[in-house]
Amino acid sequence: MGMKAKTGTSLYTHFWGPLHLVALTILVLFGQLTLMGSPIDFIPLIMGASLLLLIYFVGWVIRFNRLGDPYLWTIVAMLISLGQAMQYRLSPVNGVKQFNWILIGVLVYLMVYVLYATLHGRFRSVFFHYGLLIALFAITLIFGTEINGARNWLKLGGHTFQPSELGKIVFVFFMAACVTTPERLRVKWSGREIDPKFVMMGLVYVLMGFFAIQREFGTAMLIFGVYLTFIYVFERDILFTVYNLGLVSVLGFVAFKTVSHIEVRVDTWLDPWIDIGGTGYQITQSLFAIGSGGFFGSGLGMGYPKFIPAVRTDFIFAAICEELGILGGIAVIMLFFILLYRGMKLALRIEDRYMKAVAFGLTMTIGYQTFIIIGGVIKLIPLTGITLPFLSYGGSSMVSSFATLGLLQALSGQILRKEAAQLETGYNQ
Amino acid sequence: MVELISMAAKYVLVVIIYVFIYKIVQLIYTDIRMLMGRDSVAALLPHLKLMTPMGTKGAQSIAEIYPILRPESLIGRSKKCLIILPDPYVSSEHVRIDKVGDKFFVEDLESANGTLLNGKKLERRIELKDGDKVSLGRIDLVFSEGGR
């Protein structure tokens, strides 16, 4: 055993070990949930068993068909197990709904894999993706419904969907197209040619403006983060990144002074204790919850995370910290870390510049999203409403997270293998 | 009772999750060492790894990666072979690996010193599994399905 690990056989050799640990986690978590009900609640038992089957089944599909990087699924399996147990503990009714979303998410994950593995050569035009983004905004503005003061939801049948969740994936494709084919952005204006990067900058700021109109400041921040990293990595001009940072600081300050919503958020961030009963209620409850958890937490079902408003969506991390302890919280952050590492390694490995940029952007999207919401919950940065991938309650978030994962999986699987085979035949002939 | 279980479970849970993270990080470590091997792209395809001893405790590191793409790959001392091993204990055509669809079979070509598969003498045509060690003379080759 020790020998084998040293000789380093293929990626799949030690595949099942970590997956068994995920299974053990599911047993512990859902076993507790089952015993917690009086009389004994059988729904978590069925749910846990189904989750167990699902995790092994998808693992087998990946192992058997060699769908690329197996760690992506292993890490996400751990995350959804923790998230699902927490969701059921917070609200059994919504826990069941969330479980359905996980099932749909996994289906989307596998479908996106197949779709992207076949279609990755197409749809690389800058304007196609930009058009798609604008169309998403237009649809939301015209047909959108208002929930919690933000007109960013679409009603489809009985379900509501947040188009911006899809938007941030399309944005990555748009950015990838921008940095790999900047010549497409060449525009002439009053006889002078404008540098493509300024055209790109203009397009991105318009998008951010659209997000701000819809009051999605979290998503605006997210796409700005992704944009900034893209230009930092792909543009030679470092000063350009600095200008962007400066410009957005000015814009942020103007927004802070003019939009009362943002001003409240920032003031609450600076000192939530002034108005504990009002604007500071949510964040202070979150801090109390994290604090009361201590190192090992109160134990599943033993804490009082329900005092935090929006605990199922934005504040799920605080609930995890309360019941599984700060060690549990750090474990979640570390899980995201290793997920990002896998994405980064993939981006380094791919030869095609466009797909390299896509892998990089998708990884950054997950990274920034995690940072923005966990940072908000622990009062490191001002709070903006955004979901924690794979853990927060909500169909749009779950589906878009799994779609992102499916894209990364496709890039690490068939696409990477095909590239390698092409390189190999190139050497021989 | 439930409180008691909950109390015990929370410690168990933290331990499990951290063991999980440790396992993944360990695999990632192996993975990075693998990347430092010569042809990292070749590692995506089914391949044989030539191992060299490292240190004293029997640990080995990868010296070379040979992708196996042809239906028949010969291994031996002769120039005709795909993988040439200039070792006095290796016969001129020592062992052959056949690719049949997705499967790989190893067969000893009546070599003078014989071949070991995972330490056992290879006497007939056997299918290769991921991680199998083929030993010719003093040389170890490890088979990998590839896949990254």
Kindly report, residue by residue over A121-142, the tens digit of the pLDDT. 888 888 889 999 999 888 888 8
pLDDT at B37: 53
Residues in B touching A36 (Cβ below 8 Å): 2, 6
CA distance A3 to chain B (A): 7
Given a contact cutoff of 8 angstroms between Cβ atoms, the answer to whether A99 and A33 are in contact is no
Residue A398: pLDDT over 50: yes
Which of B115-138 are b and which e, b meaning 16 or more Cβ less than 10 Å from the residue's Cβ? Answer: bbbeeeebeeebebebbbbbbbbe
Residues in A touching B34 (Cβ below 8 Å): 8
Residues 6 or more apart whose Cβ sits within 8 Å of residue A292:
A298, A303, A322
Cis peptide before A39 (omega within 30 of 0): yes
- Tell me whether residues B24 and A328 touch, CB distance under 8 A: no
Instruction: Among B2, B24, B60, select the one facing A7 at the smallest CB separation.
Output: B60
Express each pLDDT in B52-105 by its tens digit.
Answer: 765 555 666 666 778 887 888 888 888 888 888 888 888 888 999 888 888 889
Chain centroid, CA B59 distance in Å: 13
Tell me what the mean pLDDT of segment A245-256 comes to.
89
* Whether A37 contacts chain B with CB within 8 A: no
As a dihedral over the C-alpha atoms of residue B130, residue B134, residue B140, residue B144, rounded to 10 degrees, the angle is -20
For chain A, what is the radius of gyration of the CA atoms?
22
DSSP-derived 3-state class of residue B98? strand
Residue A427: pLDDT over 70: no
* Whether A21 contacts chain B with CB within 8 A: yes
Chain centroid, CA A138 distance in Å: 24
Residue A15: pLDDT over 80: no
Phi, psi of B87 (to 5 degrees): -135, 135
d(CA A116, CA A119): 5
Enter the tokens of residue B45. Answer: 């395809």
Q: What is the number of other CB atoms lying within 10 angstroms of the CB of residue A377?
A: 27
For residue B123, the surrounding DSSP H or E stretch is none
Cα distances from A96 to residues A53, A165, B96, B117, in angstroms, run: 17, 22, 56, 51
d(CA A97, CA A93): 7
For residue B52, the surrounding DSSP H or E stretch is strand B47-53
Chain B residue with the nearest C-alpha to that of A30: B9
pLDDT at A24: 92
pLDDT at B140: 85
Given a contact cutoff of 8 angstroms between Cβ atoms, the answer to whether A391 and A332 are in contact is yes
Share of chain A above pLDDT 90, in %: 43
- How would you classify residue B89: left for phi > 0, otherwise alpha for psi between -120 and 50, otherwise beta? alpha
Q: Which of A4, A6, A295 to mutate to test the interface with B (most CBs of B within 10 A)?
A: A6
pLDDT at B53: 66
Given a contact cutoff of 8 angstroms between Cβ atoms, the answer to whether A81 and A26 are in contact is yes
* Whether A77 contacts chain B with CB within 8 A: no
Q: Which of residues 113-142 of B touch A (CB under 8 A)?
A: 130-131, 133, 142
- Tell me whether residues B27 and A335 touch, CB distance under 8 A: no
Residues 6 or more apart whose Cβ sits within 8 Å of residue B112:
B91
Mean pLDDT is lowest, of A96-110, A351-365, A410-424, B53-67, for B53-67
For residue A389, the surrounding DSSP H or E stretch is none
DSSP assignment letter at B75: E
Mean pLDDT is lowest, of A54-68, A158-172, A178-192, for A178-192
Place of tokens 């995690």: A370
Give this complex's ipTM.
Answer: 0.74
Helix axes of A16-36 and B2-35: crossing angle, nearest 10 degrees = 160
Residue B38: pLDDT over 60: no
Express each pLDDT in A212-240 by its tens digit.
Answer: 888 888 888 899 999 999 999 988 888 88
pLDDT band at B148 (very low <50, low <70, confident <90, very high): very low
Express each pLDDT in A267-292 by its tens digit.
Answer: 888 888 888 888 888 899 999 999 99
Phi, psi of B68 (to 5 degrees): -110, 105
Q: Which of B19, B24, B103 to mutate to test the interface with A (most CBs of A within 10 A)?
A: B24
- Tell me whether residues A75 and B24 touch, CB distance under 8 A: yes
Tell me how long chain A is.
429
Residue A67: pLDDT over 70: yes
For chain B, what is the radius of gyration of the CA atoms?
20
Residues in A touching B16 (Cβ below 8 Å): 21, 24-25, 28
Given a contact cutoff of 8 angstroms between Cβ atoms, the answer to whether A235 and A241 are in contact is yes
For residue A348, the surrounding DSSP H or E stretch is helix A316-349
Report which of residues A354 and A8 the model is more confident about.
A354
d(CA A379, CA A93): 30
Q: Residue A351: name the closest of B40, B106, B45 by CA.
A: B40
Q: Which of residues 44-83 of B touch A (CB under 8 A)?
A: 44-45, 49, 51, 58-60, 62, 67, 69
Residue A148: pLDDT over 70: no
Q: Give me the long-range contacts of A1-8 (CB less than 8 A, separation at least 24).
A: A3/B58, A3/B59, A4/B131, A5/B26, A5/B30, A6/B59, A6/B60, A7/B49, A7/B51, A7/B60, A7/B62, A7/B131, A7/B133, A7/B142, A8/B30, A8/B31, A8/B33, A8/B34, A8/B49, A8/B62
- Tell me whether residues B147 and A13 touch, CB distance under 8 A: no
Residue A428: pLDDT over 60: no
Given a contact cutoff of 8 angstroms between Cβ atoms, the answer to whether A345 and A127 are in contact is no
d(CA A92, CA A71): 30
What does the mean pLDDT of chain A come to? 86
DSSP assignment letter at A40: P
* Whether B145 contacts chain A with CB within 8 A: yes
Tell me what the mean pLDDT of segment A371-377 comes to.
93
Share of chain A above pLDDT 70, in %: 93
DSSP-derived 3-state class of residue B73? strand
pLDDT at A302: 83
Given a contact cutoff of 8 angstroms between Cβ atoms, the answer to whether B93 and B101 are in contact is no
Residues in A touching B45 (Cβ below 8 Å): 417, 420-421, 424
pLDDT at B51: 77
Q: Residue A392: name the closest of A95, A8, A108, A176 by CA.
A: A95
Q: Residue B43: name the closest of A13, A429, A407 by CA.
A: A13
Q: Which of B22, B27, B36, B128 to mutate to test the interface with A (most CBs of A within 10 A)?
A: B27
Q: Which of residues 321-340 of A touch B (CB under 8 A)?
A: 323-325, 327-328, 331, 334-335, 338
pLDDT at A171: 94
